[in-house]
Structure 1
Amino acid sequence: MKNIPFIAIVIWALAGCQTEENLPEIQSVSYPLYQTGEYAFEGTATFELREDAVELLIQLDGVTSEDPYFYTGHLHFGNLDDEDATIAQLLSPIDSRTLQSRTVIGRLSNGNEPDFESLKNFDGHIKIHLADQGPDYDVILVSGNIGTNDTSLYYFNTHKIALCSPNYPE
């Protein structure tokens, strides 16, 4: 009878280990997002391969808000300094309370539906704006190249970043 608690603990510990081993491994690739404006934000854009879709997780680091406010984000074709870089997909708004958003990547504005491998080799970049319209739309909080573009801080130059058009191709 004295061994029952010990046996129960051993069984519980072994069951816990087996649960961790059975968790599916998520394939992912991450890219840095650098502070682009006067606001002290930086972050990470992570593409994750899920069972039936690719999700883009945006995680910002900076000051959170207690009030609901949402930053606007875009996945663009081309390099950060490409003028008139077309928006490939609108991203789910980034909540100022959590500084996160998740977007299921679907059909892009050019009609393509990228898979995980093509997104790893995507010629693109991401920009997160302070607002979705008005003068604050021109304030880019963070941005960063993804895929085949140079994603290093060495290459990143805020003076070369092109503003993007608020128009999304239909």
Structure 2
Amino acid sequence: MKKLFLIMLMATPLFFVGCSDDDDTAEVSTTYTLAEIGDSGVSGTAKFVKIDSVTTRVELQLQNTVVDTIHPAHIHINDAATGGSIARTLTDVDGNTGVSVTEFKALDDDTSINYEGLLEFDGHINVHLGPGVDLQTIVAQGNIGSNVQ
């Protein structure tokens, strides 16, 4: 019995030393608003999350998307009022969940870009009604990076 007590007594400090409430991996992120365009009813957020020094995750979370439809989404150059070409294609938004998650290290033309670069990027996000002809219809949009006041 004495031996068991000594083993338990010796193991107790190891338990407390091995446990820590400190979280050294606090998330670094920035969230942008995606506003409804026209009377689409679709709106939400684009959250940019720093994964590491070269990788960023973009999480789109939209409300009122069209069920059983995909909504293409892109980061475009320039501000939303000016418009511009596609800089980065994002994963399509699932109309059933309103969610899209894309991790990347570069723009579509293979130009490297990280989290800090995206925070300074002259761009905006467009979410479209659907692929094909529906790509011409934007349902949600928002400025990102240097275009946010």
TM-score interval, normalised by the smaller of the two chains: 0.7 to 0.9
Rg (Cα) greater in structure: 2
Determine helix, strand or coil for the equivalent of 1:146.
Answer: strand
- 44, 52, 55: which is aligned to 1:53? 55
Q: Which has the higher strand share?
A: 2
Q: How many residues align?
A: 133
Judged with a 3 Å threshold, the aligned counterparts in structure 2 of structure 1 residues 118 and 63 are, in CA distance, closer, same or farther, namely: closer
Verify the 8 A CA contact 2:71 2:129 in the aligned structure 1: yes
The amino acid of 1:42's aligned partner reads: S
In structure 1, list runs of 5 or more residues that go unmatched. Answer: 1-14, 152-170
Show the counterpart of 1:140: 138
Judged with a 3 Å threshold, the aligned counterparts in structure 2 of structure 1 residues 19 and 130 are, in CA distance, closer, same or farther, namely: farther
Structure 1 residue 25, shift from structure 2 partner: 0.9
Show the counterpart of 1:118: 117
2-structure distance, mates of 1:110, 1:64 = 30
Verify the 8 A CA contact 2:45 2:61 in the aligned structure 1: yes
Deviations 1:57-113 (A, max 9, x none): 001122563xx3210001011111224x11001110100111001111232134421
Scaled by the length of structure 1, the TM-score of the pair is 0.69
2-structure distance, mates of 1:141, 1:20 = 43
Scaled by the length of structure 2, the TM-score of the pair is 0.78
Report percent identity of matched pairs. Answer: 27
Show the counterpart of 2:102: 103
Task: Please say if 1:80 is aligned against 2:109.
Answer: no
Show the counterpart of 2:8: none
Q: How much is the aligned-residue C-alpha RMSD, in angstroms?
A: 2.4
In structure 2, list runs of 5 or more residues that go unmatched. Answer: 1-15
